[in-house]
Chain A
């Protein structure tokens, strides 16, 4: 009963921490009503970067991992997978749409709103398929593998050297694949920054947290900074909270360990909860 009333209150009221972005700029047409549920992680900032790049007005609700909000019934209504990001919007005919998986959210947004193809290519074009190729590579490879490196290097309850090595090496290998691609041009596909670049950006920016250095990857490092110069990337990376990935390099291992403690608590609690089911 309590759950139901909680859910109802969330559907009727706005979350107390919800805030607005870009509402002063020209309103997007066609019933647009974008609402992003997010945290300032590599997967979360993909979407805010894209929204800023496109200059779209949107509502943001920051989710609190330490309160396990991503597993609350009202959030699971939007994303049964209990992970951020998630996005809701209204279609031109008034029907609501809910989406999860950062990659599919990005594709939805460019399909609908990037009609001038500033950060995408037309659907069905060769470059369009190639962007999809790299997007899937990020979603199925770079994200999960660097995520596992973070896990074994920063969050795991016991230190397992093999786990650390395995996923740091795989992350390094994946970086080298990007490095080779960037030897051919400034962006992953063609002549412009696309959602494939934005999808990878937050992960590469967080390399130090995973314990991987960019020293061997000069093209990748140049790409990282090339993108950072874009106003959209700069704004979007700080949603919903300041982006701290670059500060990590200046911290001592002790300070980093302290940082990790905060995440350790909720990550390990989540693992325990899943183990009981």
Chain B
């Protein structure tokens, strides 16, 4: 017996049929929807590699039962950037060499994206707390923190540019 579920994924309506509504969002994204940008590092909610944004909140996809997502809004790394260029958070990671193997990167990027959506100018303590929620085995976090701070600056620059141009305030807004 398949269970039908409908939710918003990266600004599109999706309808999926799963055998087990207790399947994790992580498995459904990766195996059923082919969105492999979200990574699995531990599958127990510890490492943050699978971080996605659900209704504006950064959450580990490995702990979210897909059956509870009916009607909700999910954003994954695939939603960021696009033909117009990278999201400011992504651009900051590139600029600051905030990645090595890159396996933790989508998770870090999504966690910071959620933070900046909620608070465009977070203080350093909040930045630190956000980065502290995700493991990285490669970088020692120095350049991830650099990237996080740079992301705030880049985002501000984008906001200023957009308000001058009188355009929508974010790439997200534009796409909606």
Chain A complexes with chain B: no
Chain A contacts to B: CB under 8 angstroms:
none
Binding site for A on B (CB under 8 A): none
